[in-house]
Each structure stands twice: as C-alpha cells, then as structure tokens.
Amino acid sequence: MNISQDLSIIELIINASLVVKLVMLLLTGVSLMSWYYIFRKSFALRAARQKTDKFERDFWSGGDLTAMYQSAVNDRHHSGAMEHIFEAGYREFAKLRGQKTLDPATVVDSSRRAMRATYQREIDDLESHLAFLASVGSVSPYVGLFGTVWGIMHAFRGLANMTTATLAAVAPGIAEALVATAIGLFAAIPAVVAYNRFAHDVDRIAVRFESFMEEFSNILQRQIR
C-alpha cells in the first residue's frame, strides 16, 4: 500500500500481509461462532427459566404427585430440567417405597441420589459451550496482538528498501496490523460479557434446583412415614 491509497478498513484488510489476513479470518470465524452460541444459549436459558417457573407453580399448587409424575413421563421431550429432576426422584421413590426391608431414610436417600444425578446432567447441559465463550474471551486479544506484532514487523522490514524512512511511509502497514487487534477485541468483549451473564444465570437456576431437591426430599420423607 502506498501513501496515496485510502486507509479505509476494507483497504487495510485487503492489503494486509498473508499472516495478518489469516489471523483476521480466524478471529472473524471465532467471533461468528461465539455470536451463534450467545444467541443459542440466551434462548436456552430463557426457556429453562420459563419451564422452571411453570413447573414450580404447578408443583406448589398442591396437585397430586403421581399425576404430575405421569404427566412428566408422557411429555418428557417438552418438560423442563426441574421436571426431569422431579421425575427421577419420584420414580426412585415409587420403586423402593413398597419394599418392606428398606427403612424410610434409605428410600429418601436413594431418591435424593437419583435427583442429584439428573441435576448434574441438566446443569452440564445448561453450561454447554460456556467454556468456548470463556476461551474466546481470554485468547482472542492475544491472537489479535500476534497479528498486530507480525504486521508491524512486516511494515518495518519494508523500510529497509527505502532511502528515507518517514512516518507516512510506515503508517499504512502499522494501521493494517492494528486492525487485527481491533478484530480480536471485537471477538473477545461480547464473549466475556456473555460468559459472565450466562454463568450467573446458570448459578441462579442451579440454586433453584438444589432448593427444590431438598424441599421435595422433605415431602417424600413425610409421605413414607
């Protein structure tokens, strides 16, 4: 790029060195993937909150537990995570409470362990792809910085063939290199913000699940006695 050329973003990207172009392409692809997961996780967590709210309203309205269990089994593909936890706990409870050789504490503990196993699976599903967002947020600025350093090195190497080194001669090369850092920050900042937000939302949902498991265990303990 000579001095008279336009220093627009498009021109800077087109005239960047091959390594810097590869860095920009990588960061652009990572940014698009992170935005895909951001929207996908946002919708998933919103649906999880709505289904949890609905199940809690139905559960604490005083309905029959057996009927709620049958409803959860029949509509399992559309039920929420808390409903899956309830289903696992009540299934284990119904399987063991008829056995005379087991004391009530053992039955309730087995039901709690079944709920805990389902709880872990549901939380793992809610936390899926959060590690990717965290990686994008932490690594992208350094990848962009690598592209910038390489581009600046390339720009200064070009001065070796010039008799007069001026800022105007090296400015286009430095500017195109700095675009890599800008793209890295553009990829990292939304990923970090989204990760922090989603991690907070998952923690709040996890607390609701744990509270429900304890309260439901108390209900089962009263029933078996």
**Contact indicator for 180, 147 with CB cutoff of 8 Å:** yes
User: What 8-state DSSP symbol labels residue 98?
Assistant: T
9 falls in which pLDDT band (50, 70, 90)? low
pLDDT for the residue 1: 46
221 falls in which pLDDT band (50, 70, 90)? confident
Q: Is the pLDDT of residue 187 over 60?
A: yes
User: What 8-state DSSP symbol labels residue 161?
Assistant: G
pLDDT for the residue 197: 96
**Contact indicator for 55, 81 with CB cutoff of 8 Å:** no
**Contact indicator for 80, 55 with CB cutoff of 8 Å:** yes
Q: Where is pLDDT greater, at 155 or 58?
A: 58
36-89, pLDDT tens digit by residue?
999 999 999 999 999 999 999 988 887 788 888 888 888 877 888 999 999 999
149 falls in which pLDDT band (50, 70, 90)? confident
For the chain, helix, strand, coil in percent to 5 are 85, 0, 15
pTM of the model: 0.82
pLDDT for the residue 4: 42
Q: Is the pLDDT of residue 6 over 70?
A: no
148 falls in which pLDDT band (50, 70, 90)? confident
What residues does each domain of the chain span? 9-224
Q: How far is CA 114 from CA 91, 152, 187, in A?
A: 9, 58, 40
90-108, pLDDT tens digit by residue?
999 988 887 767 788 888 8
Closest among 78, 104, 77, 82 to 93, alpha carbons compared: 104
Top-ranked range on mean pLDDT: pick from 58-67, 105-114, 193-202: 193-202
171 falls in which pLDDT band (50, 70, 90)? low
Closest among 142, 145, 130, 173 to 3, alpha carbons compared: 173
Mean pLDDT of 161-188: 74
